């Protein structure tokens, strides 16, 4: 955590101690299911850099290494909905990753939506460097492609007006995650931008989406995440998963719902929720 704070420090950044205190407060609200109206003024991030410094301090609360990374606000509509002008990166913790066979506790879920996403598991490390990674370089480091479901949530009562720095501090609304089986299709020969995805909640109507809804292409989104981490001095590690953002309109969920997302020849993924 200190490396990030030192790297981003510009003379006005909140201190490492303040960032740790903000992270502790966010984590406490996450565990209790309660919502924050706002972080206290002295702990409130004013920039994306400060938000990432706070987010880094959430990592020690997990008992396992970081499972992977998510990207929020990968569509213009999504950015407008939460009042940001660029995507946001957030850590996914192993404790919040569920197998498809599990019944996911609905608990105090506040956002109450499910998102169907393309996810990449990395084969090789991509360390920070001065020059940006190309899409081709990012893809060359990928091991497998998976259909995935993300169940986001926020620790802020009003996440729509919280702003980018606070949402970044809040793990970019990371919460629960379900990784489907790796596709057995040669996905590298498929145009993921034009690939169609459909999903449904329980017996509800089918919702259709497309890969282009994710920063124009899930592969572009992957490269964006790699370069966002690079600017923060963070290595994207072999074995970590990157989920690239929803490719269809977020689906409202309720207790006891089942979600099924069909990625066609790339596979499918499902999740069910408890009370």
Tell me: the pLDDT tens digits for 193-250?
Answer: 999 999 999 989 999 999 999 999 999 999 999 999 999 999 999 999 999 999 999 9
Please tell me the number of Cα atoms within 13 Å of 68 on its side-chain side.
Answer: 23
Number of domains in the chain: 1
Tell me: the pLDDT tens digits for 143-168?
Answer: 999 999 999 999 999 999 999 999 99
105 domain-assigned: yes
Name the pTM for this structure: 0.94
pLDDT surpasses 80 at 52: yes
Give every CB contact of residue 190 below 8 A, 6+ residues apart in sequence: 265, 266
> What's the CATH code of the domain at 119?
3.90.850.10
Helix (H, G, I), strand (E, B) or coil at 144: strand
Phi, psi angles (nearest 5°) of residue 70: -115, 160
Cα–Cα separations (whole angstroms), residue 193 to 118, 197, 219? 11, 11, 8
10 domain-assigned: no
Q: Which domain does 99 fall in, by range? A: 64-273
The overall average pLDDT reported for the chain is 94
5 domain-assigned: no
Tell me: the pLDDT tens digits for 97-150?
Answer: 999 999 999 988 999 999 999 999 999 999 999 999 999 999 999 999 999 999
């Amino acid at each position: 955590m200190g490396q990030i704070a030192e790297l981003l420090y510009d003379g006005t950044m909140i201190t490492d101690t303040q960032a740790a205190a903000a992270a502790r407060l966010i984590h406490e609200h996450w565990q209790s299911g309660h919502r924050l109206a706002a972080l206290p003024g002295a702990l409130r991030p004013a920039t994306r850099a400060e938000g990432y410094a706070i987010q880094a301090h959430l990592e020690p609360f997990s008992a396992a290494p970081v499972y992977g990374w998510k990207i929020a606000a990968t569509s213009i509509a999504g950015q407008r909905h939460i009042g940001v002008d660029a995507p946001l990166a957030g850590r996914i913790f192993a404790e919040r990753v569920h197998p498809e066979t599990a019944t996911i506790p609905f608990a105090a879920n506040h956002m109450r939506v499910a998102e169907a996403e393309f996810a990449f598991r990395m084969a090789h490390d991509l360390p920070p460097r001065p020059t940006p990674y190309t899409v081709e370089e990012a893809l060359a480091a990928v091991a497998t492609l998976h259909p995935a479901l993300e169940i986001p949530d926020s620790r802020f009562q009003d996440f729509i007006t919280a702003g980018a720095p606070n949402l970044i501090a809040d793990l970019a609304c990371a919460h629960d995650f379900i990784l489907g089986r790796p596709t057995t299709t040669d996905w590298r020969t498929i145009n993921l931008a034009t690939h169609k995805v459909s999903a449904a909640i329980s017996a509800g109507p089918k919702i259709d989406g497309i890969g282009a809804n994710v920063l124009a292409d899930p592969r572009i989104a992957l490269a964006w995440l790699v370069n966002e981490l690079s600017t923060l001095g963070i290595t994207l590690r072999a074995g970590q998963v990157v989920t690239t953002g929803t490719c269809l309109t977020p689906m409202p969920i309720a207790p006891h719902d089942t979600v099924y997302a069909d990625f066609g020849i790339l596979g499918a993924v499902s999740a069910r929720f408890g009370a």
